Amino acid sequence: MIILLIITIMKLYIQNFNIDILSDIMKQLAANYTHTESYTIIYSECGIYRIDDDTTIKKLVCLDKDIQILKNYYNELTLIADPSYYTTEIVNNIESQHISTSVKRCFFEINEKSKIQLVVEGEETKNVNVNSLINPYDIYFEVPNNIDINDALVKKEIIVFLSLLN
């Protein structure tokens, strides 16, 4: 067993966000689009696995941490900060009884030097323009675990996106 990578990205979720409007919001975010990432997630009784384009099978091992509720972070929007993260181990096989799903994540940033990314996650579609890359089912921010999300500059950047989502 080889430990490959430790992913220490904190996710910030918007509490009670209306997921039904996510497709329309993607159009408003198009100017901030940076890139897309695709992979397959596999769920089995032995664990969760991820297969990227290079076909390497990585077992995800969650290091669960306590969440933090940030009430009224911006106007009346409350954020949920989850600092949990995954380590990955390269494995050679997966048990035959499993469920798999293709995931596409679209990333949005205020500028190229930003450490804050808005991520819209969903199922892949066959269309080629950014407004319809995916059928979205989740939205969250990704920030480094060691960043102070209450820092004025960090908060300002998050609020720019939150104002677009309102």
Residue 5 confidence (pLDDT) above 70: no
The C-alpha atoms of residue 68 and residue 66 are separated, in whole angstroms, by 7
Sign of the dihedral defined by the CA atoms of residues 16, 33, 55, 58, in that order: negative
Q: What percent of the chain has pLDDT over 70?
A: 90
Residue 132 confidence (pLDDT) above 70: no
- Work out the average pLDDT over 97-105: 92
Residue 127 confidence (pLDDT) above 70: no
Please write the tens of the pLDDT for every residue from 50-74. Answer: 998 878 899 999 989 999 999 999 9
Q: What pLDDT does 138 receive?
A: 93
pLDDT band, residue 128 (cuts 50/70/90):
low
Residue 163 DSSP label: H
CATH entry, 2-165, from 3.40.50, 3.10.450, 2.60.310, 3.20.100 = 3.20.100
For the chain, give the mean pLDDT.
Answer: 87
DSSP letters spanning 100-152: EEEEEEEEE-SSTT-S-EEEEEEEE-S--SGGGSEEEEEEEEEEETTS-TTSH
Q: What pLDDT does 126 receive?
A: 63
- This prediction has a pTM of 0.86
Q: What pLDDT does 25 receive?
A: 83
- Work out the average pLDDT over 119-124: 88
